Amino acid sequence: MNIKAHDDLLQAEMMVSFRKQKMVVSVYVIDGLLIDTGPPIMRDKLIPCFEEWAVKDVILTHHHEDHTGAAHWIQAHQNIPIYIHESGIENCEKRMKLPFYRKVFWGERQSFQPLALGDQFTTANYTWDIIHTPGHAHDHVALFNREKGWMFGSDLYVHPTPKSFFAFESVPVIIDSLKKLLTYDFDTYVCSHAGVIHKGRQVIEKKLDYLEGVQREVLALATRGKSPHAIRKTLFPKSHPLHYLSLFENSPKHIVNSILR
């Protein structure tokens, strides 16, 4: 666990690994607001942080297990409200049925009862716009801090030029969400996996450009009569161990299929 400070923002950065797969994930606390609660496998390491930080509210950016792992513990041990987009509440109340590789990698998340987020949120010193930004997850939100002009975009960024998608992700929906983010006046972008990015607007523009380019190429090949399988082979010929490990829940075919859907 690596604790980093960026002005009044604290970042707890964790490295999770299984065999050769590695992933960095962070939770953030600012002005008494905890943003996400880390993966279940890191819960015991995060508990001392939760006890030290004077957290007053928790906002979950979406229901995925690497963002909601300690929510059950927080609800059981600290008297703090936990919020999520209304469309994610049901996912949190139920036991999460995870594919084996995600269970092994992130750990198994216990259920909890969150409250519904509105369009705006206030902490002692800040006003936050809650921006519904689906595409990575149906309940995904970004948080815009008006006073700092910082965008907390959770998993909308992660990587500028992804070559593979999860089955639950959609290129056209992510494109719409990235465009929505760019209507806000931010420069610093805070990512749950890539950390604090001071040229944040640029990286979001770059990702949007890339995905629009991919979308154009996929549609052009489909117009010429190529099958989804042939399009994937043409545009994304490389395979990655994660494709097999995930039994193709993660695969370039989801990039192509989400565009042609």
* Closest distance of CB 204 from Zn ion, Å: 17
* Closest distance of CB 95 from Zn ion, Å: 18
155 sits near Zn ion (criterion: CB under 5 A) = yes
207 sits near Zn ion (criterion: CB under 5 A) = no
Q: Which of the ranges 25-33, 72-80, 153-161, 239-247 carries the binding residues for Zn ion, by CB under 5 A?
A: 153-161
139 sits near Zn ion (criterion: CB under 5 A) = no
Which is nearer to Zn ion, 166 or 210 (by Cβ)? Answer: 166
Burial of 108 (0-12, 13-18, 19+ CB in 10 A): middle
64 sits near Zn ion (criterion: CB under 5 A) = yes
Which is nearer to Zn ion, 31 or 65 (by Cβ)? Answer: 65
Q: Which of the ranges 40-48, 64-72, 109-117, 145-153 carries the binding residues for Zn ion, by CB under 5 A?
A: 64-72
65 sits near Zn ion (criterion: CB under 5 A) = no
Q: Which of the ranges 1-9, 154-162, 168-176, 202-210 carries the binding residues for Zn ion, by CB under 5 A?
A: 154-162
What count of residues does the chain have? 261
* Closest distance of CB 250 from Zn ion, Å: 12
Which is nearer to Zn ion, 64 or 232 (by Cβ)? Answer: 64
85 sits near Zn ion (criterion: CB under 5 A) = no
Q: Which of the ranges 38-46, 57-65, 73-81, 181-189 carries the binding residues for Zn ion, by CB under 5 A?
A: 57-65
102 sits near Zn ion (criterion: CB under 5 A) = no
**Sites of contact with Zn ion (CB under 5 A):** 64, 155
